[in-house]
Every structure is written in structure tokens, then in C-alpha cells.
Amino acid sequence: MSNLDFSKNDSSFSSNLRFLSVLFTGFFLGIIFTKTIGREILILFTTSNLIPGIILAVIFTGAIISAIVSLKKEESRDVVLLYVNLFVVGLVFLMLPHIIEGNDMTLKLSNVLGFGIAFRVNALTLYMLIIASLLWFMVTLYSHSYMNKKEKSGGRFYFWFMVAYGGAMGAIMADSLITMFLFFEIMYISCYFLVAHSATPEAIKAGYRYIFMGVVGGLSMLLAVIILHVNTGTFDLMSMSNYIVLSSDGTGRMLLVALIFMLIGFSIKTAIFPLHFWLPGAHSSAPAPASAILSGLIIKVYVFSLIKFLYVGLGLEIVQFLRLPEFLPYLASVGMIAGSVFALRQKELKKMLAYSTVAQVGYMILGIGLSNPLGISATLFHILTHMITKSALFLCAGAMYYHTGKKDIGDYKGIACKMPVTMGIFTLAALSMIGIPGLVGFMSKWYLSIAAIDAGMPYFVIVLLISSFLNAMYYLPIIINAFLIEPEDGQTCFLRDPIPNNMLFPLVGLGIGLIFFGIFPKMVVSIFQMGITFM
């Protein structure tokens, strides 16, 4: 087996990995068992409002350091990145005790960039930060072997990978419109480099679509931000709704125009149905770790920001004035069905997964469009669901590509025999997409359905179920193909996948997450109940 990557020059990575796992465990045990003196020190540190700033500083510095180190030695770069990621995870978890008591953390840097940037961390933001940092850590762990074997110029990849991380974290924490916009753009530009990384004609083409649509969306947003600022005099999300009065005079019309531009920008970036066409190409032509990040997290940052903009910035009254509840769910349901239908006979596995993302974004938009607390809570839960499920699927697809070097579904005949764990996780994730009770996907369908009926629109439940059935129609053949059709070349089977451990651990972690949150969804939902009260 030539594809086992722990060769001699790789030993530093694996020994570091062992050290890292010990550190990781020790860290969490420390958090749990620090009771007395340590607790005092922790509280002193955790109540400091600087942590959001520190997180961003660490990430961006990490990006630069990784680029420098990468010039010398590629192995050390991956180790450095792992430590940086772990450190960020630690920082995020440090905020937990303070936030969970119901406090907010705010950081305003009023002199930066002329107009000042502001961050705020509350329970919901922290929830997003936690899933983002954990996913990034797992994907970084995974990408080491994948990038080594399958892609070139890792230095460039990892630099933009970390910059995108910083952009995502910043956009999650942003408290003012301009901050949000700034970090959106950072995220967007850096993601372009991830999309077009492999520089195949296909990737370049997808990258063009991605960047052009992104620029259009970004400019729409910028225009909106400027108009809003001129007419209200503030960038602040929390106080914005006080200034927005949609009357029929000049200012009112200007504000309306601004909001329309903002929504157009958001609907491009969240790939709401008719504007989704850039997504499948972009998400499928990126390297597998980047696909997992793009589909698993980046798209959700926009969804989360949309929630923030609509329900914190504007408030329910304006949302209803704009008649969003009257057309957003319909667009979403068209997206849910159309995305699944397009996915039905994609030949390439990753492309199918990307089309499935279009459908899944529809679920989240549906939850937002229902515009009741249950709907928002369902959307937030689906963010977690889709993060776990889709990144597991993409990472499994990456692992199969890593082992076989083939991309088409037809080439994966009988692959479960060779990669039982990978295909097992894939099956779990696919069943979760279909909505089998006991897995996390079922719970988000359940919450969404309850929300839809609560909003007085029970027909969306039927759309949800049709979409589930379509999911079954395109996921099950892959599984059947992998488990039950005889492979063409030989019939040797393994008990353990022929991929390195550092690719296997994230997969197993996500698989455990699929089951865990499927059985104990209340743990997450209670956070939303804490966070959504502000609306």
C-alpha cells in the first residue's frame, strides 16, 4: 500500500499529533475540573472583552506565520497550523463560562479603518464560533495528508485557508454592518483562492463564476451599507431599527432601496434559489477540505448574518413590512426541490453533494422566512446539522478520491469493502440527510416542520418530505453501489481503511456528532432559547 503517508519524513507530524491529542484532552479536563484557584484566574481572564480581538489576531498572525514557515519546511507548517487552530478552539471555549451566564462581550475599536469596527459575542454567536472552530480544527487535521498527496502549492492554500477562517470568525462576531461587510469581503476573496486552487480549467471557470457573483453581491451590499449609513447615521446593528422608518418620503424610499440591495446581496451570497448557480461548481471543484469548509461553514456564516441583519438589525416589523414571509419560504421550497432534482443524476460525487447543499440552504432560508422564533431556532439547528452532515460527506468523498484517485460515482463500486469506516460514516450522513430518526438530520426536519405549522403554513411540511424523498433517491444508489455491487478489480477487503489516521479521526468525530446530536438535540436547542429572547 503506497498510500499510507506516515513515512519517515512524516514522523514529526505524527509525533506532534500524539502530543496534540494529549494536550487537547488535558485542556478540556482542565476546564472541567478547575474549581477553585484556577477558576478565579479563569474568570478574570474570561470576562475580559479582548478575547474576540485576540482570536482574530491569532488567526491572521497564524496565516502569516504559516506562509513564512511554509517556505522553509512544509511539515512544520502543518504542525504550526494545528497549534494555532487548537489555540483558537481554546480561546473560544474560554468565553463559554462568561457567556453562559447571560452576559455579552463587546469590543469596539473606534479608530480602526476610519469608521471603527465592533464585535459582540452572545450565546448564539458563541454557538457559531464553537462549531466553526471545531470544524476548522478537524479539517486542518484532515487536510494534511490530502493536500500532500493530491494537490500542489500547499503554502498558498493554507495561507488563504487561514485568512478565510479569520474572515468567517470576524463576520460571525461582527456587531456593525460595516464590520460584517469587511469580513465578508475578506472571506470572499480568500475563498476564491480555495475554489480555484487546483487550477484545472473547470476550477478556473467555477472560480470566475464565484468571484463575479461575489463582487456583484458585495457591491450591492456596499451600496446598501452606504445608503443606510447616510440616512441613519449609524452602522450599529443593535440600534439600527430605531432609525429605520419606511415612510413614503424621500428618506423612506432610500432606505427601502438600501434594504432591497442588501437582500439581493445576501441572496447571492446565501445562494437562494434563482441565484444559486455559482455554488455547485465552486463547492465541487475546490479541494475536498476546502469543499467541506465552503459547504459546511462559509455558506452558514452568511445565513447566520442574514438572521442577524433581519431580526437584530431590522426587527420583525420591518421584515413583515418587506413581505419577506410571503415570498422567502416559496423561493426556499423551490430551491429545496430544484437542488435535489439537479443532484439526482450528477455523475461526479462532489458535484452531487454541492447541489444537495443548494437544497439544504433552502431549508435554512425556509426557517428564516417563516419568521417566528421556532423557525429561527430550526434554522440555527439546521446550521449545526448541515455543518456536521455535509462536511462529513465531503470529507468522505475526499477520502475516496484520496484512495482511488477517481471522482465519479460509478467508479466507487464496492468501495465499502475497502473503506468500511469511510463508507459507514458516509452512510450515516446520507441517512441523516434523508431524515432517519436517531440521526441529527431528522431533528432539524422535525423542528422545521413544527415551525412551519406554527407559522400557519403546513404545506411546507409536504415540501420538506418530498425533498427528503428526493434525498433518498440520490443518496441511496451511492450507498447501494458501494456496499452491494461487486468491485471490478479483485475482492480484497480490509477491516481498517487504507487512509492515514489523521484523515480518519475527523470522520469518526463527525460520525459521532451525527448520532450524538440526533439523540440529544435538547442540549443545543436550549442555547437557542437563551439567545433568541432578544428578538
Distance (Å, whole) CA 432 – CA 475:
11
Cα separation, 18 vs 21, in Å, equals 5
Q: How far is CA 361 from CA 238, 357, 389, 445, 467, in A?
A: 26, 6, 13, 13, 12
Query: Which amino acid makes up residue 77?
Result: R
Please, which of residues 426-445 interact with other proteins by CB under 8 A? 431, 434-438, 442-443, 445
* CB distance 3 to 149 below 8 Å: yes
Among 15, 115, 496, 512, binds other proteins (CB under 8 A): 496
Rg of the chain taking only CA atoms, in angstroms: 22
Query: Which is closer to other proteins, CB of 171 or CB of 440?
Result: 440
What is the distance between the alpha carbons of residues 77 and 72, in angstroms, rounded to a whole number? Answer: 9
The verdict on 257 binding other proteins (CB under 8 A) reads: yes
Considering the rule CB under 8 A, would residue 246 count as an interface residue with other proteins?
no
- Is residue 413 a contact partner of residue 481, using CB atoms and an 8 Å limit? yes
Q: Smallest distance, Å, CB 329 to other proteins?
A: 16
Residues 142-201 that bind other proteins (CB under 8 A): none
The residues in 305-364 that bind other proteins, with binding defined as CB under 8 A, are 341-342, 344-345
Among 45, 516, 520, 534, binds other proteins (CB under 8 A): 520
Nearer to other proteins, 112 or 245 (CB): 245
- Cβ atoms within 10 Å, residue 34: 13
* C-alpha cell read off for 79: 504542525
Name the one residue in this structure whose C-alpha cell is 494536550: 23
Site string (216-235) toward other proteins, x via CB under 8 A: x---x---------------
Residue type, 530: M
Q: Which residues of 37-56 are buried (b: 16+ CB within 10 A; e: fewer)?
A: eeeeebeeebeeeebbeebb
> Least separation, in Å, of the C-beta of 367 and other proteins?
15
Stretch that binds other proteins, among 54-62, 63-71, 82-90, 487-495 (CB under 8 A): 487-495
Q: Is 518 in the site for other proteins (CB under 8 A)?
A: yes
**Near other proteins by CB under 8 A: residue from 109, 199, 493, 512:** 493
For the CB of residue 318, give the shortest distance to other proteins in the complex, in Å.
18
Please state at what angle helix 154-173 crosses helix 177-195, rounded to 10 degrees: 160
Q: Does 447 bind other proteins (CB under 8 A)?
A: yes
Enter the C-alpha cell of residue 49: 472583552
| Residue 111 touching other proteins (CB under 8 A) | no
CB of residue 74 to other proteins, shortest distance in Å: 21
Task: Using CB atoms within 10 Å of the CB of residue 2, give its burial: 0 to 12 exposed, 13 to 18 middle, 19+ buried.
Answer: exposed
Cα–Cα distance measured from residue 456 to residue 356, given in angstroms and rounded to the nearest whole number: 27
What is the pattern of x (binds other proteins, CB under 8 A) and - over residues 464-483? -x--xx--xx--x---x---
Q: How far apart are CA 146 and CA 398, in angstroms?
A: 8
Of 64 and 219, the one with the shorter C-beta distance to other proteins is: 219
Q: Rule CB under 8 A: which of 5-44 touch other proteins?
A: 6
Binding site for other proteins (CB under 8 A): 1, 4, 6, 216, 220, 250, 253-254, 257, 260-261, 264, 268, 274-275, 277, 341-342, 344-345, 417, 431, 434-438, 442-443, 445-447, 449-450, 453-454, 458, 461-462, 465, 468-469, 472-473, 476, 480, 484-486, 491-496, 498, 518-522, 525
